[in-house]
Amino acid sequence: MSRFTIAFLLFAGIALAGCDTFVDNTTNVAPQEMTELSFLTFNAGLDPEGVLNYAERKAALPQALADTGADVICLQEVWKEADQKKIADDLKLVFPYRYYKVTKSTGTDPLPAACTEEDLTPMALCYLSNCAETDASDVVAIGLCLATNCLTEITGIPAECRDCLIGAITGGSADITSIMAECSGEQEAVEMAQGGNNGLLLLSQYQLIGAKWEKFESFYYQRGYLSAKIQHPIFGAVDIVCTQLTDAVAGMPYEGALGSWEGELAAQAQAIIDLAPLKATDFRVLMGDLATGPAIGRDIRGKNPSVYDMFYYAYYYDPFIENQNAEPLCTLCGDNPLTAAETVDQITSHLLFTNYEALPLTAERVFDDGFIVTDKAGKEKTYQYSDHYGIKTTLSRGSDN
């Protein structure tokens, strides 16, 4: 399905408004170590209702982040504006540059149908003429037949309708009738989780040049990305993208504009892939919980692997998985006491690089040992930092290179 998806995914917006922005670039503090540049991504899971031990984890996180020695950090699921500000303030001496954008949902009116009868009729007629004998249970075959025989009819469909159809196909709709039905009915609006805030926080030891927020089309959780450029004296100008992509919400049917949870995820991945490099940058680092990852060996299960393939075939390199000496470990793990009982080991957090061929990269899992808190009675208890583990990737170059 990936060839069909990559060929036709487009990016659409929804009615969400940014209500506050925080960016601090006033301090000019250069890191001491210039022969290394390190990046860290971590899904902090700071949801007081969704992940246990919120207060203890929030209190321990700033010092733990400082102790990693990372130069640039992308945090996800710091849902409360107050937590975003406090973490940034607590770490101002270590990370003088920080950026986040507070977003809030605006209204809950029902969404109109993504497609009208007039939008769908030409494609439906073309399908009946050319693809009627296609196996109705083979969604890949349906997509390829449409892409091969009905290109003119598909490209004539409005973008929002086309995105919905792609999402319906990737979501497993079994025949052309159900694909069209998913996109031609009015969609009830659902109040967005976390008040519509996106939960992203970008921290840096280097000045964040041109920092901005861009939103994705998304259902239930507001998704988007933070973008900025940093300038390093050895490694040059680096294009930073910090994001969290859509993951299916257990037990909740998808009612957004892109057909399915996987369709929305694929649309967001394609939007990242389509981003032009920031001006005069040497490479890009994509950081975040991407809700996707490959199956590795017998222990690590795949998570939306076709979307991970989209990044792979767009020449994004994952040193945590692909380095010659890499020993990949799960970042969402069944042995983490903060995860649900049915959790299987997966790699959903990633640090992906473009133009990576000449980059000396090493990667490691972080925040997997937990931290100890001593109560008033002197009893020690170990907590995990989150229901996810993090990843740190380092570029190293000796002074004689």
pLDDT given for residue 25 in this prediction: 53
**Residue position matching structure tokens 């659409």:** 12
pLDDT of residue 19: 41
| pLDDT for res 173 | 60
Q: What distance in Å separates the CA atoms of residue 247 and residue 348, rounded to the nearest whole number?
A: 10
> Which uninterrupted H or E stretch holds 122?
helix 117-130
Alpha-carbon gap, residue 344 to 39, rounded angstroms: 26
Sequence-distant (≥ 6) Cβ neighbours of residue 66 within 8 angstroms: 91, 94
Beta strand pairing call for 236-244 and 283-289: parallel
Q: pLDDT tens digits, residue range 97-108? A: 999 999 998 544
State residue 330's pLDDT score.
Answer: 98
Residue 202 sits at φ, ψ, to 5 deg, of -110, 125
* CA gap 350, 286 in Å, rounded: 8
* Angle formed at CA 372 by CA 368 and CA 377, multiple of 5 degrees: 160
Provide the β-strand partners of residue 241.
Answer: 227, 286
235-to-102, 238, 319, 353, 360 alpha-carbon distances in Å: 31, 8, 17, 13, 11
Going by the DSSP 8-state scheme, the letter that residue 5 receives in this structure is H
Give the residues across from 380 on adjacent strands: 374
Residue found under tokens 């022969």:
35
Residue pLDDT tens, the chain, 401 long: 333 333 333 222 223 333 455 555 544 444 445 789 999 999 999 999 999 999 999 999 999 999 999 999 999 999 999 999 999 999 999 999 999 999 998 544 566 788 888 888 888 888 888 888 887 767 678 778 888 898 888 888 888 887 787 777 666 665 677 777 878 876 666 789 999 999 999 999 999 999 999 999 999 999 999 999 999 999 999 999 999 999 999 999 998 989 899 999 999 999 999 999 999 999 999 999 999 999 999 999 999 999 999 999 999 999 999 998 889 999 999 999 999 999 999 999 999 999 877 778 999 999 999 999 998 888 999 999 999 999 999 998 754 44
Please name the amino acid found at residue 95.
F
